[in-house]
């Protein structure tokens, strides 16, 4: 539950601890749900970004371990990119939204698997130490566009099938839509969105997420 090992090499050189996640930003999820999207409980495809909060008790960084909750057998590894806000971001325009991002990092959002996205319990999302961030925040100038960064996920050293999401909103579009109603401040993190299908991790296993230019984020579930 600490980010103290995390190197933030770009302004504001620290994180606020406010982390917003994004769901249903992968076309594959909507394809998987198919016609059922038009039926209850959803009744329509999402219009606004589907967001959630990772509270501070979840925050963790590379090399940390998470205790598997007693009521859960395995966790989804929600591998994604975290956009680190560099300037106060309110009502951004898509054209220049990325100018407000100072850097990116890797995020492993460990989630209790669930099939309904209507009103899932906060229990699935708020477990202590379940949001791994790191190993560092790398400036955008040194990387491809955030939308083009490819992630590789490993469980016990074994590379997992590629999980590259087909994003409904690009990083810039997401920032524009989110900051229309909520202001992000320097050091806040907005996650680009976990993929529709995710590898899982059990107690006793380790996992890693790697991306060229950002490094390797590692964790253990005990």
Partner 1 sequence: MKTARVAYGGAIHVGTEHPDGVRLADGRVVAEEDVVWLPPFEVGTIIALGLNYADHVKELSNELTVTAKDEPLVFLKGPGALVGHRAQSRRPKDATFMHYECELAVVIGKPAKDVKTADAMDHVAGYTVCNDYAIRDYLENWYRPNLRVKNRDTCTVLGPWFVDAADIPNPHALGLRTLVNGVVTQEGSTADMINEIPALIEYLSSFMTLMPGDVILTGTPDGVVNVNEGDEVVCEIEGIGSLQNTIVGDAVFGR
Binding to partner 1 in span 10-39, by CB under 8 A: 18, 20, 23-24
154 lines the binding site for partner 1 (CB under 8 A): no
Q: Tell me whether strands 158-159 and 101-111 are parallel, antiparallel or unpaired.
A: unpaired
Shortest gap between Cβ of 95 and partner 1 (angstroms)? 19
CB atoms within 10 A of CB 184: 24
Plot region of 27 (φ>0 → left; ψ -120 to 50 → alpha; else → beta): alpha
42 lines the binding site for partner 1 (CB under 8 A): yes
203 lines the binding site for partner 1 (CB under 8 A): no
Shortest gap between Cβ of 143 and partner 1 (angstroms)? 26
Strand partners for 26 = 167
Chosen residue from 97, 176, 184, 198 binding partner 1 by CB under 8 A: 184
**Residue position matching structure tokens 């989630």:** 111
Phi, psi of 76 (to 5 degrees): -70, 140
Three-state DSSP class for residue 111: strand
- The contact set with partner 1 (CB under 8 A) reads 1, 18, 20, 23-24, 40-44, 46-53, 55-58, 69, 90, 117-123, 126-128, 181-185, 188
């Amino acid at each position: 539950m600490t980010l103290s090992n995390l190197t933030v090499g770009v302004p504001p050189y620290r994180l606020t601890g406010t982390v917003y996640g994004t769901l249903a930003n992968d076309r594959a999820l909507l394809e998987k749900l198919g016609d059922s999207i038009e039926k209850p409980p959803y009744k329509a495809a999402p219009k606004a970004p589907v967001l959630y909060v990772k509270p501070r008790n979840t925050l963790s960084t590379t090399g940390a371990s998470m205790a598997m909750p007693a009521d859960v057998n395995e966790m989804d590894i929600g591998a994604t990119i975290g956009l680190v806000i560099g300037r106060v971001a309110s009502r951004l325009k898509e054209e220049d939204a990325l100018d407000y991002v100072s850097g990116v990092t890797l995020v492993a959002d460990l989630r209790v698997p669930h099939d309904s996205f209507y009103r899932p319990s906060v229990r699935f999302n708020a477990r202590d130490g379940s949001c791994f961030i790191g190993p560092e925040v790398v400036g955008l100038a040194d990387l491809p566009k955030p939308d083009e960064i490819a992630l590789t996920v490993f469980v016990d050293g074994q590379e997992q099938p590629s999980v590259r999401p087909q994003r409904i909103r690009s990083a810039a579009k997401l920032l524009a839509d989110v900051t229309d109603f909520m202001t992000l401040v320097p050091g806040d993190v907005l996650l680009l969105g976990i993929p529709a299908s995710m590898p899982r991790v059990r107690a006793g296993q380790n996992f890693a997420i790697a991306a060229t230019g950002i490094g390797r984020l590692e964790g253990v579930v005990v």
